[in-house]
Structure 1
Amino acid sequence: MGDISGNLSGPDPAPLGAMTLNPLPESVSLARRWFRKFIAPYDPACSVDDCALMISELVTNAIVYGRSDEPWVVRVEWFRVQNSLRVEVHNPGFPANVQMRRPEANDAHGRGLLLVDSIADSWHHGPSRLGGTVVSFVVADAWPS
């Protein structure tokens, strides 16, 4: 399921929305609420709850693993790419630090990318065009033709 190849070729994406969040725990629930509010007018056929859950996981990771000597933010953007929805989460961390872990059953953390991998049709991580790291996921057929 997971696509870490970085192959995002194809037509230019149509931007649908974006948010800039402070790297604070309360930003996770804010990201879910804002995404639900701002995606609603586009009436996607995919599960908005699943997308909000994946955004929660990626924003949490961005807050936990983002690093900068300067004040910084987490940037979330979402796009329509043909019939698919692509969501990107940017932070000032190092792309090489993004790793899917295999936590033990009693581990309290470490399941975020596993969850994204199991729900999304594909996902990617690498250097962000904004500097730092981007982790993105794609939900295919969010707008069936």
Structure 2
Amino acid sequence: MTFVIDRYPCEESPRLGAMILLPTAESVPRARRWFRKFIAPYNPACSVGDCTLMISELVTNAILYGRADEGWCVRVEWFREGTSLRVDVHNPGFPANVRLRRPDADDAHGRGLLLVDAIAESWHSGPSAFGGTVVSFVVADAWPA
């Protein structure tokens, strides 16, 4: 099996869902498709397109910069926090390596966190509870108060 999807539809749980992905290029479009499918029943008022773009960028970064001695995966989780949506992307990389870059116009890479910074209400990175790094973003007003 190459993936796991986990949903928590009960109101008591702030975690709405999670997915575990292999660190391969095919996981990026898979993450977008799954997020769209599994967030839809919660009827968010925010732009799902913006969320999938940010997830795409963070999963890509996780795949590119995650490091482990053994096989590893990328974990994506999404939570409802009041009226906000929070998405966490975990990988086994080092938290100190996450940084916002300001690439030159002719640079082909380096805009992922810049996009997240421009679209999300906020974002942060730090040590993951699963080991390695978590990069999270928050979208405000994802649901009515």
TM-score normalised by structure 1 residue count:
0.91
Distance 1:79 1:111 in 2: 25
- Deviation, 1:25, is 0.5
- Deviation, 1:142, is 0.2
Superposition pairs of residues 34-113 of structure 1, within 5 angstroms: 34-113=34-113
Provide the aligned C-alpha RMSD in A. Answer: 1.0
- Deviation, 1:97, is 0.3
Q: Which has the higher contact order (CA 8 A, sep 6+)?
A: 1
Distance 2:129 2:35 in 1: 21
- Relative to 1, partners in 2 of residues 1:13 and 1:138: Cα closer, same or farther, differing over 3 Å? farther
Counterpart amino acid of residue 68 in structure 2: S
Number of residue-to-residue matches in the alignment: 134
CA contact (8 A) 1:120 1:138 kept: yes
Distance 1:14 1:69 in 2: 33
- Deviation, 1:144, is 1.5
TM-score normalised by structure 2 residue count:
0.91
Corresponding residue for 1:135?
135
Corresponding residue for 1:17?
17
Counterpart amino acid of residue 138 in structure 1: V
Distance 2:130 2:44 in 1: 27
Secondary structure in structure 2 of the residue aligned to 1:107: coil
Counterpart amino acid of residue 53 in structure 2: L
Corresponding residue for 1:121?
121
5+ residue gaps, structure 2: 1-11
Residues 41-85 of structure 1, C-alpha deviations (whole Å, 9 max, x = no match):
000000000000000000000000000001000000000001100
Secondary structure in structure 1 of the residue aligned to 2:69: coil
